[in-house]
């Protein structure tokens, strides 16, 4: 027992020592932005930050308006939350199984087998999570939509549950989800504007019923929904919003995202081979709609004031929400692969003063951040920021990098 205790103390001391050495080294280190192409002067007046987080502390690396580097030791950085909208699939009176229970092909725990069966349909509730610019998180609960997910040969709906050995049967607690959801929940989020949340459920053409843009305000008290389970019991869902239907939407489109600019709602949707961008006033009246032809998908969406940057058909494009005009870049290939052919992940895009600023990192090495400045014709600057160069081979500390974020 003494040997075990002594060993644990030694391990803890080594961890503290490694962390102390790392922070001491980091405190006196430099984090240079290495110029790979072009002149760094194009980053003037575009400050940005990145963070390396350890167990007990974080290193905030910043570049100011004059592209001068600063860094400081701060409290440990929590994982940043993000706003999101996600469907929850629940039973209604017309929900019926259309197959028997059978063992799922993908198993997570051999001691507790997972079973599944197919359903004909499910009612849709929408879970809303909101995070403000200061990373303050709110769970807004659920919205009861008027949407139904209808299953067919192309749209398979599954109910899954674990087998309970004690009862020799399928557990009463189960969950429902489509086999392959073809929607775009990634860019769907509630937007807070002038005291209201504006919410667009990311519905698809596989859903029936009606979809709306909702406007909601926080309730003083929580409302609960009673949702039936497979054995006719109930579980509750909280709703913290008073919700009104702002405008009814077409049901023959996939709805991707909603943003707000200058008192106007900007909705991204898709049908067949076209991307639709629709502008509404704050009462839900349609003002203008434009289309982009191509059978592609929305792979990035970032807003700065009246400009929305998005990637569609592998092209970085900038929407001016005032004029509703879109301009595409001619050199978007740099945003999909690096010079060595490695895949990259975009962390953020900013459009300002006629230039586009991109923060990204390699999929295989997210501690090396890349900052790109481009206009619509050419790449003006590429720089790399190595955020773990202070580590030595002898010290391997668990660390998390939060990539470069431009200050807005």
Which is more confidently placed, 75 or 214? 214
Cβ(302)–Cβ(308) below 8 Å:
yes
**Average pLDDT of span 113-135:** 93
Contacts of 353 (CB under 8 A, 6+ apart): none
- The pLDDT tens digits for 222-264 are 888 777 665 555 667 788 999 999 999 998 999 999 999 999 9
Buried b (16+ CB within 10 A) or exposed e, 271-292: eeeebbbbbbebebeeeeeeeb
Q: How far apart are CA 235 and CA 233, in angstroms?
A: 7
pLDDT, position 287: 98
Q: What angle do CA 271, 275, 276 make, to 5 degrees?
A: 90
The least confident of 6-20, 67-81, 111-125, 165-179 is 6-20
The least confident of 236-240, 350-354, 360-364, 369-373 is 360-364
Contacts of 392 (CB under 8 A, 6+ apart): 25
Q: How far apart are CA 360 and CA 379, in angstroms?
A: 15
pLDDT, position 366: 66
**Average pLDDT of span 38-44:** 95
Q: Which of 46, 157, 185, 50 is nearest to 94 (CA)?
A: 157
Q: Is the dihedral of CA 142, 200, 80, 182 positive or negative?
A: positive
Boundaries of every domain in the chain: 1-78+329-408
pLDDT, position 206: 87
pLDDT, position 387: 78
What percent of the chain lies above the pLDDT cut of 90?
Answer: 54
The residues pairing with 116 across neighbouring beta strands, listed in sequence order, are 102, 160
Which is more confidently placed, 326 or 331? 326
Q: How far apart are CA 376 and CA 337, in angstroms?
A: 18
Mean pLDDT value across the chain? 85
Q: Phi/psi class of residue 162: alpha, beta or left (left: φ > 0; alpha: ψ in -120 to 50)?
A: beta
Q: Which of 247, 257, 101 is nearest to 190 (CA)?
A: 257
Q: Which two tokens stand for residue 219?
A: 């309730």
Helix, strand counts (H, E) of the chain: 1, 30
Cβ(361)–Cβ(345) below 8 Å:
yes
**Dihedral angle, C-alpha 252, 118, 201, 293, nearest 10 °:** -40
DSSP code for 86? E
**Average pLDDT of span 114-121:** 95
């Amino acid at each position: 027992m003494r040997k075990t205790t002594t060993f644990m103390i030694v391990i803890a001391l080594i961890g503290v020592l490694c962390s102390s050495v790392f922070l001491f080294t980091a405190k006196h280190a430099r984090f240079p932005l290495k110029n790979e192409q072009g002149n760094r002067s194009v980053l003037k007046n575009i400050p940005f930050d990145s963070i390396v987080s350890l167990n007990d502390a974080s290193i905030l690396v910043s570049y100011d308006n004059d592209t001068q580097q600063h860094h400081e030791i701060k409290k440990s950085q929590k994982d940043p939350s993000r706003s999101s909208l996600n469907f929850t699939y629940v039973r209604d009176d017309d929900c019926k199984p259309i197959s028997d229970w059978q063992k799922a092909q993908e198993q997570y725990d051999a001691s507790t087998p997972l079973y599944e069966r197919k359903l004909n349909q499910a009612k849709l509730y929408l879970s809303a999570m909101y995070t403000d610019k200061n990373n303050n998180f709110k769970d807004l609960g659920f919205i009861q939509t008027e949407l139904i997910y209808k299953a067919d040969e192309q749209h398979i709906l599954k109910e899954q549950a674990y087998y309970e050995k004690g009862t020799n049967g399928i557990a009463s607690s189960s969950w429902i989800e489509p086999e392959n959801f073809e929607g775009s929940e990634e860019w769907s989020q509630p937007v807070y504007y002038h005291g209201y949340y504006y919410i667009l459920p990311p519905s698809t053409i596989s859903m029936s019923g009606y979809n709306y843009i909702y406007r909601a305000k926080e309730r003083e008290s929580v409302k609960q929904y009673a949702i039936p389970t497979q054995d006719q019991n109930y579980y509750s869902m909280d709703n913290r919003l008073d919700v009104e239907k702002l405008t009814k939407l077409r049901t023959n489109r996939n709805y991707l995202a909603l943003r707000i600019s200058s008192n106007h709602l900007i909705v991204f949707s898709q049908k067949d081979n076209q991307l639709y961008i629709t502008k509404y006033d704050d009462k839900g009246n349609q003002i203008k709609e434009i289309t982009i032809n191509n059978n592609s998908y929305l792979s990035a969406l970032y807003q700065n004031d009246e400009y929305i940057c998005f990637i569609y058909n592998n092209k970085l494009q900038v929407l001016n929400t005032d004029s509703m005009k879109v301009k595409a870049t001619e050199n978007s290939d740099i945003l999909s692969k690096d010079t060595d052919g490695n895949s990259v992940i975009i962390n953020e895009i900013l459009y300002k003063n006629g230039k586009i600023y991109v923060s990204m990192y390699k999929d295989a090495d997210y501690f090396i951040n890349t900052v790109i400045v481009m206009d619509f014709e050419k790449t003006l600057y590429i720089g790399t920021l190595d955020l773990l160069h202070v580590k030595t081979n002898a010290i391997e500390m668990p660390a998390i990098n939060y990539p470069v974020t431009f200050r807005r």
